[in-house]
Amino acid sequence: MTTRLAILFALTTVACGGEADLFTPMQGDSTVQARISGDLPHTGAFDDDSRNSWFSSFEDGWVDLGVDAYGDYGWAMLMVSGDDGDYEVIGCSGKEDGDAEFDEPAEDAEVEFEEVEVDGEEALEIRVTATFENGSTASAVGHVLR
């Protein structure tokens, strides 16, 4: 899996069913405002605001981010976890909410972090793009307010 950390971010969570000081101010869990899109098995194309998303960072540099959405297309989730530029991205999807008919690690992924301003507030922007072995793709962009 190819991952890249430019000055930009990461995501993760439990499988379905960079510089350290970038994360230090957010020790523990934080809520993320995010959007997820893609074309995964069992959902087809989707582009939706996340209904559940979370971010955790720890003193040792480990980060976790999860983004999921549910709509007429079904359920989709992207998760990232890791540290020091070595991140695993997992994609999940299914017809029913939380039912991971598809649950696979990305074959190729890019995870980026960037300090940005959102509505006058400092935030960490997280961008994740993933391609899976079957050619499916998914991406997410999230903002963690400081």
- pLDDT of 64-119, one tens digit each? 999 999 999 999 999 999 998 899 999 999 999 999 999 999 999 999 999 999 98
pLDDT at 29: 56
pTM of the shown model: 0.79
The residue-averaged pLDDT of 51-59 equals: 88
Q: Which residue has the higher pLDDT, 140 or 13?
A: 140
Q: Which residues touch 44 (CB under 8 Å, ≥6 apart)?
A: 73
pLDDT at 25: 35
Q: Which residues touch 52 (CB under 8 Å, ≥6 apart)?
A: 66, 67, 68
Q: How far apart are CA 31 and CA 94, in angstroms?
A: 24
pLDDT at 57: 86
* pLDDT value at 62 more than 50: yes
**For the chain, domain boundaries:** 20-145
pLDDT tier at 16, thresholds 50, 70, 90? very low
Please give the CATH topology (third level) of the domain spanning 20-145: Porin (2.40.160)
Q: How far apart are CA 62 and CA 24, in angstroms?
A: 11
Question: How does the average pLDDT of the chain come out, rounded?
Answer: 82
